[in-house]
Amino acid sequence: MSRLAKRPIPVPDGVTATLANGLLSARGPKGEDSLAVHGEIEMRLDDGAVSVAPRSGSRLARSMTGTTCALVRNLFTGVTDGFQRRLQLVGTGYRAEAQGAKLALQLGFSHPVEYEVANGVSVKTPSATEIVLESVNRQRVGQTAAEIRAIRPPEPYKGKGVRYFGEQLRLKEAKKK
């Protein structure tokens, strides 16, 4: 079993956690989220801490124990602090504009691209070439960022495209005559 799973996970101050019918729900200052407990995992909530243990000695149960602990920690972090992912648009004429739950992108195609942002994820555009995604769910924010990046990933010669903020690209050398 995972060493991290042997210790109970404390519920942070200001967070209300409930465990019912295989669903761990947490409510905090940033919002609320829930986590479905895997069938091979036994979870208990007592004395302001969540304890995770495998139901059996199977390989799946042991491996899911550590994963579940990480998911519980992310759940508590999300409802207290939230998660944020920043994207950068690099290229002449590339720009983004947030329109409620939609993101209007101009990425060098012959047409503008409209991306419908996932439920529970808020999108902001502080500048025309920067996108900020925020949510209480880490997986949802990461998946949304990956889908936006996949619309126009950075190309290897000039580096134009959508990239994560601070992402280092290894550019290829152009063909020589």
Question: pLDDT digit string (tens) for 33-64?
Answer: 999 998 889 998 888 899 999 988 889 988 89
Question: pLDDT digit string (tens) for 97-106?
Answer: 999 889 999 9
> Do the Cβ atoms of 90 and 163 come closer than 8 Å?
yes
CA dihedral 52, 58, 60, 64 (to 10 degrees): 10
- The CATH class given to the 3-80 domain equals alpha beta
Superfamily per CATH, domain 83-164: Ribosomal protein L6 (3.90.930.12)
Residue 1 has a pLDDT of 58
Q: What is the rounded CA–CA span in Å between residue 26 and residue 19? A: 9
Q: Domain ranges for the chain, please list them.
A: 3-80, 83-164
Which amino acid does the sequence have at 54?
Answer: P
Are both 3-80 and 83-164 of the same fold?
A: yes
Sheet holding 41-46, edge to edge: 9-10, 49-54, 41-46
**Average pLDDT along the chain:** 91
Residue 33 has a pLDDT of 92
Question: pLDDT digit string (tens) for 141-167?
Answer: 999 999 999 999 999 999 899 999 988
